[in-house]
Amino acid sequence: MPAHPMKLTLLLLALVTTPALALTANAQGFGTLDPTPPTGITLPQILEKMGQQESAFSAARNDYTFRQDVKFNTISDDTNRPDGEYHQITDISFDKDGRRVEHVVFAPQNTIEKVIMTENDFKDIEKKLPFVLTAPELPEYNLTYLGRQKVDDLDTYVFDCAPKTLVKGKRYFQGKVWVDQQDNEIVLINGLTVPQDTRVGHEDLSPPYTTYYQQIDDKYWFPTYTKAEGILHFAAQHGALSQDVHVRTVVRYTDYKRFKTSVTIHYNGEDITNNKPDDAGKENDANPMSTPPAKPH
């Protein structure tokens, strides 16, 4: 371990999805990417509808209680097994006045030694999940159409997503997004958080990640499983050797339940809150995936 602690920033982002089947551990994987343009709908129409649905999802998730299980490990080079662990399970719910509260139900001793998790790391996990492309946020990104692809039993459009400009102090997603063709919602993402700060002594790094979603209450797709894994490189400083640290983070979200139904979503003067049938009375547990589906390519 270097004389000066290394800073690790974990950014686990989420994303939305649409009807049909959830992406499961038994996923059939990814079909061939077909670069032909969509039929019966233009790309601007797809993105506009996606922005609407993402906006509705972002607001709707604030009406749900759920359990969040975060496990971060450093991995030994010799054994390829965890040699340090941060683990916390939190129930996200509401108090008697309807205010959102978090209750930690499990938090064993943190045994991470190779890196230090800062306050910003915890804020990223809390505030940057899920990654959504709401209508107001869409102009911040360039989305390049890559084609159509089958993911599990879902027909999707695939886009390359990258920020147009990097505003100081803001974090962005850069990678691929898969958008369900039926409901124009994001069902899967795979990429990196940017910018990555590689300045010696100021490293602010995060591994690539993938987030999967499952449909809740037959309406919106909620994040149920995120995995981030990679090797972070910390340059030599103050006489210490450079170091590569293998890290792995898994976040599971379970027990989604609707708490209230007071949200109204407006877009371009139109109420889009009930674009889908409302099954607010239904309770549906989102079971985390024990093994992620095939790796995106």
Q: Output the pLDDT for position 184.
A: 84
Q: Output the pLDDT for position 127.
A: 61
Tokens encoding 71: 């496990």
Q: Output the pLDDT for position 159.
A: 97
Query: DSSP string of 261-293?
Result: -----EETTEE-TTSS---TT-----PPPSS--
Residue 51 — φ and ψ, nearest 5°? -60, -40
Q: Output the pLDDT for position 5.
A: 46
- Low-confidence stretches of the chain (pLDDT beneath 50): 1-27, 263, 265, 276-295, 297
Q: Output the pLDDT for position 15.
A: 28
193 in Cβ contact with 175 (< 8 Å): no
How far, in whole angstroms, is CA 73 from its chain's centroid?
Answer: 18
Q: Output the pLDDT for position 130.
A: 66
Q: Output the pLDDT for position 36.
A: 96
Q: Output the pLDDT for position 24.
A: 43
Separation between Cα atoms, residue 216 and residue 223, nearest integer Å: 10
- The amino acid occupying position 59 is A
Q: Output the pLDDT for position 105.
A: 97
- What are the tens digits of pLDDT across the range 205-246? 888 889 988 888 888 888 889 999 999 888 877 666 668 999
Residue 57 — φ and ψ, nearest 5°? -65, -45
How far, in whole angstroms, is CA 7 from its chain's centroid?
Answer: 21
Q: Output the pLDDT for position 213.
A: 85
Q: Output the pLDDT for position 279.
A: 41
For tokens 């547990």, the residue is 285
Q: Output the pLDDT for position 214.
A: 85
Beta bridge partners of 248: 73, 229
